[in-house]
Amino acid sequence: MIFPATIRKTLAQLRSLCWSQRRWSAVILALVVFLPFAAISCRTPKRAIVKLPDVPGAKYVGSKECEQCHEEIYKTFQTADHSILLMGGANLVNAGCEACHGPSSIHAESGGETKPPYHFTAGRPVANTMGATVTHPDTRAVETVCFTCHANVRGEFGLPHRHPVMEGKMSCIECHPPHKGSAHLNGSTALKAQDETCLKCHPTQRGPFVFEHEAMHEGCTSCHGAHGTVNPKLLTARDSNLCLKCHFQRVQGGQLLIGGSDHTLRVQQGACWTAGCHEAVHGSRVNSSLRY
């Protein structure tokens, strides 16, 4: 004889078993559906397909070919941003080295006797075909190659205020090392280290300061353009607008209040620093308001 209590217990066990199976099936289904998406979303493809310029008589042979003679450079180049560049087409070729040096089939076949199309070798200028004078190399040869892919940067160097790259006084590779690590010197996520690139040439802005401008923690490029801008000193915004991006302002009773102080007339006298108020824009040793 089956008692009601036993029936209730059996039904409870069946419900629990069915629920466990449904729940387990749901978990398996979720894993099957979402794991592939998770794998794709968490992975950054290490490649970038580019269309590189053609050079008559030369072919792209791939960066692996460069390792035979340039072993040390090839090893460190694997960490460089430009190492991921691939030639497009049916047969993908890793052309990281040749993206800057040009197609190097003739260079490789000659055992290095013939220089690659863009070799940037310093030294004595090459004589011309007449032999009477020398042909002076283009002082902007490196930049010319960089601008092949970075046309937007070429435009920035055409702005009124810029670093003297176009004048041949600076080179792209002074700030963007081509053969190792990030293309931004001291770059990647190390924001403070990025400023070291700027401070090599601008040591007076290094400090230390007793009262440091908080913007220094955001990096030089929070106020200055890296290549060129329309404003003096490569500022990203003109006049007081640059400061007002960070410093809270409000209008009350016809007054422009900044930091609780009336700036209605002050902002009409010029920029925050040119008006003679906050002259120590990077930091001060005597005044917390960066006045001196």
In a domain, 272, yes or no: yes
Please, what is the average pLDDT of the chain? 79
- How many residues appear in the chain? 292
> What was the pLDDT predicted at 115?
86
Does one domain contain both 145 and 116? Answer: no
In a domain, 164, yes or no: yes
Residue 227 reports pLDDT greater than 90: yes
Does one domain contain both 55 and 84? Answer: yes
Better-scored residue on pLDDT, 141 or 280: 280
Better-scored residue on pLDDT, 265 or 29: 265
Does one domain contain both 143 and 215? Answer: yes
Residue 1 reports pLDDT greater than 60: no
In a domain, 40, yes or no: no
In a domain, 1, yes or no: no
In a domain, 156, yes or no: yes
Does one domain contain both 164 and 232? Answer: yes
Mean pLDDT of the 278-285 span: 92
209: number of Cβ within 10 Å: 16
Better-scored residue on pLDDT, 174 or 230: 230
Percent of the chain with pLDDT over 90: 21
Better-scored residue on pLDDT, 27 or 51: 51
pLDDT in tens, 114-155: 888 887 754 444 445 554 444 444 444 678 888 888 889 999
> What was the pLDDT predicted at 20?
60
In a domain, 275, yes or no: yes
Number of domains in the chain: 3
> What was the pLDDT predicted at 4?
62
Question: Do residues 53 and 100 touch, judged by C-beta distance below 8 A?
Answer: no
Distance CA 107, CA 109 (A): 6
Question: Chain centroid to CA 246: how far?
Answer: 23
Distance CA 282, CA 166 (A): 28
Does one domain contain both 111 and 184? Answer: no
Does one domain contain both 242 and 232? Answer: no
Better-scored residue on pLDDT, 23 or 190: 23
Distance CA 161, CA 126 (A): 34
In a domain, 217, yes or no: yes
Mean pLDDT of the 100-116 span: 89
Distance CA 292, CA 290 (A): 6
In a domain, 69, yes or no: yes
- Domain range spanning residue 273? 238-292
pLDDT in tens, 165-201: 888 888 888 888 889 888 776 555 555 667 888 888 9
Does one domain contain both 90 and 148? Answer: no
Residue 46 reports pLDDT greater than 70: no
Does one domain contain both 62 and 84? Answer: yes
Query: What are the helix (H) ranges across 116-157?
Result: 141-149, 151-156
Owner of token pair 């005597």: 286
Does one domain contain both 52 and 67? Answer: yes
